[in-house]
Structure 1
């Protein structure tokens, strides 16, 4: 059973009309690795009896284990994100974690591609800022694909969160979720990178429908992509029986 932990909201900042940046201070060191996430318990119980709990990636690096940030996009009619967007400084939250295996590998080497779609950029930024990933930063390429410059996090904010030592950052627009050209355009962007033949490892986060296709393409190009290298935020792939 997951052990409940607590953190206090020490500040909030609006990043556009539908995104809230939370500054939190945990009661004790969290013990997370960049790329992982927590599960926030809103303490709301739906009429069905289901508790409203939501997963949010640690946006900040893991060198600091008590003070961290979360970026939360408000989802229309979403009770979880509505709860978060109502939080103010001085409020305590309850959460469990850290969770997830989307973390840099110990002792890995070579050029690394971190490709994020949509809200998957939070996991990608946490991953890049992981202490253990620091030696690989000069050879890292971060690609963030989103529908528009107004989506979720401002481009300038994302650029500011990327460590200065990161080799390359690309931010590009692709069609919105569900559009028939979305996956073909994402594949074309990945193909352009893989054709160089110098990518040693790939990590993919965001839209599960896109993730599945891109991970298949990477493997077809000779780059191994294990389950722990893919983090789906929505459009979850069906679990094999």
Structure 2
């Protein structure tokens, strides 16, 4: 059973109409690696008895293990995100973690692609700020795909958070979540990147429907990828029996 931990909210900032940036200080070092996430406990229990807990990626560097930030999108009629958007400085919150296998590989080298869709940009930012990822930054391309320029986090904020050593950044608009052409657009962008040649590793985060399609394409292309190269935030692929 996961051990509950606590952190204090020391600041909040609105990032557009539906996103809150939380600045927190943990009671003890988190022990996380960039790319991992925490599960926040709203302490709300549904009539069914199910506790409302939500996962959020750490967007700050793992060089700092006590003070950290999370970006939370308000989901319509979502009790978990509504609770978090009600937090104010001075309040405490319970969480568990860090969790997740979406981690930069130790000792890796060569050209790297990180492709994030939608809120998956938070995992990508944390991933890129991992100490172990620093040597890969000059040969890294970050692509962020989202449905509109004002989706989730402002582009300026994201660009400011991308490490200065990152080799290339592309931020583009693709069809919205669930649109029949969304996966096709993402696949076309991936093909463009693979056509350059020389990719050593690829990491993808965000829309699970997009992630699964891209993972299939990477496997067919012979790139060394596994489920650990993927972090799905929604549209989770069904687990095989």
Give the TM-score taking structure 2 as reference length: 0.99
- Residue 223 of structure 1 aligns to a residue whose secondary structure is coil
Structure 1: segments with no counterpart, 5+ residues: none
Aligned to 2:53: 53
1:22 correspondence with 2:34? no
Corresponding residue for residue 153 of structure 1:
153
What are the ranges of 5 or more consecutive residues in structure 2 without an aligned counterpart? none
Instruction: Indicate the residue corresponding to 1:100 in structure 2.
Output: 100
1:115 aligns to 2:149 (yes or no): no
Runs of 4+ in 1 over 3 A off after TM superposition: none
1:97-135 CA distance string (max 9 Å, x none):
000000101111111100000000000000000000001
* Match status 1:139 vs 2:139: yes
CA distance in 2, matches of 1:40, 1:229: 23
Aligned length: 241
Give me the CA root mean square deviation.
0.5
SS in structure 1 of the partner of residue 196 of structure 2: coil
Displacement after TM superposition at 1:220 (Å): 1.6
Shift of 1:237: 0.3
Distance of 1:61 and 1:198 partners within structure 2: 28
Question: Aligned runs of 1:1-241 on 2, under 5 Å?
Answer: 1-241=1-241
TM-score (norm: length of structure 1): 0.99
1:119-169 CA distance string (max 9 Å, x none):
000000000000000011000110000001110000000000000000011
> Quick one: distance in 1 between partners of 2:198 and 2:155?
27
Alpha-carbon distance in 2 for matches of 1:165, 1:7: 31
CA distance in 1, matches of 2:202, 2:239: 21
Counterparts of 2:84 and 2:124 in 1: how far apart (Å)? 21
